[in-house]
Amino acid sequence: MTQQPRIDTSPHVSDEVRKTTCYMCACRCGINVHMKGGKVAYIEGNRDHPVNKGVLCAKGSAGIMQVNAPSRLRAPLKRVGPRGSGEFEEISWDEALQIACDWLEPIRKTDPSKLAFFTGRDQSQSFTGYWAQNFGTPNFAAHGGFCSVNMAAGGIYTMGGAFWEFGQPDWDHTKLFMLFGVAEDHDSNPIKMGIGKIKARGARVIGVNPIRSGYNAVADDWVGITPGTDGLFVLSLIHELMRAGKIDLDYLARYTNAPVLVNADPDSPEHGLFLRDTDGKPTVIDRDTGKLTAFDTPGVRPDLGATHEVDGITHRPVMHLMAERYLDPQYAPEAVAERCGVTPDKIRRIAAEIARVAFEEEITLDHEWTDFRGETHKTMTGRPVSFHAMRGISAHSNGFQTARALHVLQIILGTVEVPGGFRFKPPYPKPVSAHPTPHCKSAPNSPLDGPHLGFVRGPEDLALKEDGTPARIDKAFTWENPMSAHGLMHMVISNAHAGDPYKIDTLFMYMANMSWNSSMNTRGVMEMLTDTDENGDYVIPRIIYSDAYSSEMVAYADLILPDTTYLERHDCISLLDRPICEADAAADAIRWPVVEPDRDVRGFQTVLVQLANKLKLPGFTTEDGTPRYRDYADYIVNHERKPGIGPLAGFRGDGADVGRGAPNPAQLDRYIENGGFFVSHIPEGANYYKPWNMAYQDWAVGMGIFDTPQPYIFDLYAEPMRRFQLAAEGYGDRQPPDHLRDRIKSTMDPLPIWYPPLEDDSIDTEEFPIHALTQRPMAMYHSWGTQNAWLRQIHGENPLYLPTKLWEKHGFRDGDWARVTSAHGEITVPVAHMAALNENTVWTWNAIGKRKGAWALSEDAPEATRGFLLNHLIHELLPEKGDGLRWSNSDPITGQAAWFDLRVRIEKVQAPTESQPAFAPVKSPVGQGPDHLEWKVEK
């Protein structure tokens, strides 16, 4: 008998498991890091974690390769060659910190606004913003301005929260799930788990996206919409629902400003503003008494139809304005179908399905609750239709109004914060009134007068200097982008280069690959970063950059502060920032050094603490200059944003306090013992109707989310937007420039509208008839994954996908290449056929293309020879229209970068040797990685 080989079917995998939080995307899943001989052996999901419950995607598992990547920076670097050459010398941390202080200290003493400090996709913006505030510069923001500020701001101005980190569908009860433009790398595990759960129950999924991949590929129905028309499609659904009477009138009367009275006199300086009582509260007519009263008066039953006259001026409820707006034939399916690329019958069918599920399959839970007017309800009624959306609808110049339209659709159905609908995650919902306004008053040697970012209520909150010019380098919170809640990171370099609105001295960036895939106008940005003036000095004098890897941006910095990888540092996923909460619980988490760095690197947040100590920044040092914090871990534990409220909500005081409590020296140890996270569940009966449920409001006060209850009603009609329109009409002390008046009046409508993407008005759409998009692959998160030895085997290159109509029209075959031209530039790239695609749209995966020499990849790597970026076709400014102005390629309300407005033409060309444009290789401080990356982990 042949002897069988002996196989160890249960090998010794690890001698220790260290639990922490993944950083391979913004999902923030819990992971078990298996250690063997002090090294990472493999990574699996943590089954006890509230986010992923043990599920882990390819990105998360591949974190082991991220921590061992050859592209990791190894030590602080000082530029010794020309900027852009990639020529550096290694220096000590003492020297690096001293150089940074020598550049920053004079700025702080004379004019802190000369520092522009902008961070990329880090998850510690409450901390980095606090650092910038104490430095005193008004110039701080993170990447939201070129990612998804339309989604966040649109949601907060409408209902106090939005999709993604603000909330989630009620996966346990929803019966119809509809998603719009969702990036497949964001929140991927919870969405996949949720879709699996609802499909197992027989619930239906409808996907609205020009591209049918990922979530849309498993949807029961796919709407291959024309890019940039999502808002028009949604408004047509609203039209059909209102026309059929399929809206929740009781919900609208109780929980929204639909019954609030609005000044209807076009000649009044308060036209379009709410009628308020002596306490400043919006008023309604009580349906029982017929009397005028504040919206929150105990026992009031707001009337959706009553008008009221004061001093000869008629005031009409918001509901009247909505009916006039959305019952207009311009929103009928026949009127929008051709533009949206969706047939009238399909629009009607989807509207009918939404109505049927919402009103014929309602859910009732036997949970008693008391609302903010003091009325006790015996049950909770839900309409089991839920929605989810992300960057696809957001990254257009009409994205803010589109996001608002989608929220209005949810609200008129009565599906927000009810069983089966969309539910907020703590610390949301938060009304606009609970958020700060932006601050911009900067003075020598002083902290800024308040937080940089916030939510304006009107022109009085704009970030303008006394002479009316922008106070911020990115022109956020100005008449050009009044409600830019996340800043405009994509405009920082071009504005700094132009000296408009002023010149800066130092550009300080973290994890922002602005010379490559994070910029519009990549070639132009590279030229701006290296441009010199007539004296031979760089136009942007100094650039400090921090990253963990040798990205394309490294070559353009003067000083490199090397970051750790995510398994080598402390991080705080905080309720003050971007927490990991679920709809039924408040939760936060940490990362901690499960392995020690084998290089001379430091976590960026710790470096900021060390810089703050050397600069003696208030907030980080005592009055005598003594440091308050040693490093970021010390800050996480001991910092208090206000008494008893710190970065982490769990294990405060003696370890038993939750939400509020004194700093606990053992807090991080308690988190580590608990798997790296903390959860506090919302009491049963308090977990729905959060904006109006007093049990939830009281719980939120106890958690430190609010100091006092903050109940509010949803803003179908956004009064702050009307205040800007009034200014554009000539009312008020603070007036916009004349050339912006018409744009403000037309775009800042307080009820959601749709207008064509601005690029369509700036170019000849017959010359550039095709829409061009990028999409995030599930296996990559932004640019980080394409240098990962495992993940790049999934996406080592990216073709341009063409729909059948264009594929056949141009006679393409497998292996062909195309020249793609926009009003700004051209690329030559490989193409592939995809049938499940809007017939007038081409697309590719985002950020796969790499510049030769970066990321420790070989110069003939497929990412550098066949990979490419659509960024080369996009500009931060719109093409000239002949009016003497160059308008920002952004949403005119929030300033969000309009990446997805891109229009192109294509033509078949002979295949080149590599994709074009091909830039000269950059010299990398880490060199090229080995051909084979392998090692054995053992004791």
Radius of gyration of the chain (CA): 27
DSSP string, 591-646: E--SS--SSS---HHHHHHHHHHHHT-BTTB-TTS-BS-SSHHHHHHH--SBTTB-
**Per-residue pLDDT, 157:** 98
Q: How confident is the model at residue 2 (pLDDT cuts 50, 70, 90)?
A: low
Q: What is the greatest pairwise CA distance in the chain?
A: 106
Closest CA to 576 of 663, 641, 482: 641
Please, what's the b/e burial string for 497-516 (b: 16 or more CB within 10 A of its CB; e: otherwise)?
beeebbebbbbbbbbbbbbb
Reported as a single tens digit per residue, the pLDDT across 750-789 is: 999 999 999 998 899 999 999 999 998 888 887 677 789 9
Res 146: pLDDT: 82
The two structure tokens encoding residue 195: 């879709």
Average of per-residue pLDDT across 343-369? 97
Q: Is the pLDDT of residue 12 over 80?
A: no
- Percent of the chain having pLDDT more than 90? 90
What is the pLDDT, as a whole number, of residue 887? 83
* CB 177, CB 206: distance < 8 Å: yes
Return the pLDDT at 885.
67
Is it the case that residue 634 has pLDDT exceeding 90? yes
Res. 43 pLDDT band, cuts 50 70 90: very high
Contact residues for 237 (Cβ-Cβ < 8 A; gap 6+): 347, 350, 351, 354, 409
> What percent of the chain is helix, strand and coil (3-state, nearest 5)?
30, 20, 50
- One-letter amino acid for residue 111 of the chain: D
pLDDT at position 185, please?
A: 75
What is the pLDDT averaged over residues 468-497? Answer: 96
Q: What is the pLDDT confidence band of residue 939, given thresholds at 50, 70 and 90? A: low
What was the pLDDT predicted at 209?
A: 97
- Beta-bridged to residue 115, according to DSSP, are 506
For residue 674, give Cα distances in angstroms to 36, 46, 168, 274, 589. Answer: 21, 11, 25, 49, 10
Q: What is the pLDDT of residue 781?
A: 81
Q: Which DSSP category does 542 fall into?
A: E
At how many degrees (to 10) do helices 604-615 and 125-135 cross?
A: 20
What distance lies between CA 908 and its chain's CA centroid?
36
Q: Which residues contact 676 (CB under 8 A, 6 or more apart)?
A: 19, 20, 21, 30, 46, 49, 589, 590, 591, 592
Would you place residue 340 in the very low, low, confident or very high pLDDT band (cuts 50, 70, 90)?
very high
What is the average per-residue pLDDT within 251-267? Answer: 98
> 661 pLDDT exceeds 60?
yes
**C-alpha closest to that of 524 among 285, 875, 879:** 875
Tell me: the pLDDT tens digits for 546-560? 999 999 999 999 999
Which pLDDT belongs to residue 121? 74
Name residue 33's beta-bridge partners: 18, 43
| pLDDT given at position 704 | 96
Q: pLDDT value at position 670?
A: 98
Q: How does DSSP assign 187-222, residue by residue?
A: SHHHHHHHHHHHHHTT-EEEEE-SB--GGGGG-SEE
| Interval 43-58 mean pLDDT | 95
Backbone angles phi, psi at 203, to 5 degrees: -70, 155
| pLDDT score at 9 | 78
Whole-number pLDDT of residue 935 = 82
**In this predicted model, what pLDDT tens digit does every residue of 663-715 receive, in sequence order?**
999 999 999 999 999 999 999 999 999 999 999 999 999 999 999 999 999 99
Q: Which long-range contacts (CB under 8 A, 24 or more apart) does 296-301 make?
A: 296/372, 296/373, 296/711, 296/713, 297/373, 298/373, 298/374, 298/375, 299/373, 299/374, 299/375, 300/373, 301/253
- Residue 842 phi, psi (nearest 5): -120, 155
Cα distance between residue 183 and residue 442, in whole Å = 37
What's the average model confidence in pLDDT over 358-364? 97
pLDDT at 1 over 60: no
* pLDDT tens-place string over residues 62-72: 999 999 999 99
Query: Roughly how many angstroms between the first and final C-alpha of the chain, as a whole number?
Result: 36
Lowest mean pLDDT among 133-147, 523-537, 591-605: 133-147
Q: Which of 816, 904, 913 is nearest to 866 (CA)?
A: 913
Reply yes or no: is the peptide bond before residue 384 cis, omega within 30 of 0: no
| pLDDT band at 13; cut points 50, 70, 90 | confident
How does pLDDT run across 837-885, given as a tens digit for each residue?
Answer: 999 999 999 989 999 999 999 999 999 999 999 999 999 999 887 666 6
Q: Cα–chain-centroid distance for residue 933?
A: 34
